Structure 1
């Protein structure tokens, strides 16, 4: 049976694959913190199944979702911590039940130094993540909250239904929960949405699409 390493990192030599496959695989329940701001990175996590959300918190208590980590993706904060000896500035929480393998820091550094394929994987994933974070900063800085929220709702909808709290939506677009609540109330009064506890239904998708632009 093919181990996780051959699926996640195809092309590695058999000895390296066997070494990585020997690392323990952990199953972690949803809503479990993996690291907090100020912690130090002790290993490089490879997410095999599920999703991990990484948040940045301000002094006011507001949060913004920096990015989500799914299979084949990496965590900027962990890469910076391992390669630059920097403490985490954000918090990572499992959004779903996750299966993951943690490559210990000494093994990570050895692979970076000796295995071009692994090094390329880390750097490509890092570059992709930096691009996503840059796009997020551009949206927060230059796109109106109404447009960002409308776009987020359209991205999240499944059959015109969205399951999310106001706090979750606020974290995703980088604003306060109160701002989200007021905007959703306006759109509900205008007949664009129907809202309930932890649930939103799109009633007029054409108008929401126009707002997203």
Structure 2
């Protein structure tokens, strides 16, 4: 049975969760200055030590910033951060099949944007980074780098964030799927086909190359999941 230990959240954790919820609901907005520590501790009904622990957590997670001799402020880009957090939490609950479906849709659009927006120099840099690794971990890192460089060349921050999140989530199975040298050679060929189509500014060829690559990734991942 999958039984999880019962635990009681610390008071500081409860403050952190409540403040993040207040940010989500708009009760705390970007750039808002928080009350001083004494007043805030009183409002939460806790000691200053517990409050400081909560504020330290929020600062470490990037939700707030502290200015010496001035005060504590909600980060200016808090809504963007909260949106990314929500997307990341959603992605963590998906299956590999869900992730592959979503990634395929994004990468088809992504290569279009690369062709439209990237300079010849940026595309050349992507091609220069191609190659075949001699072990699974290096191949996984190269695969991540190639798709991240495509996302970067698309000039779309969401594409970049998704690629990073995706590779964080599939690291274990991706490394396993790259154990075979034959598959590593195939990956290099698939990446080269995508890059060449982009270099030629051929959207249809680029999308077909992406579809083929994703089909092979899907086939490999499904095979690994069954082991």
Give the alignment's TM-score, normalised by structure 2. 0.30
Larger relative CO (CA 8 A, sep 6+): 1 or 2?
1
Structure of higher CA gyration radius: 2
TM-score, normalization by structure 1: 0.31
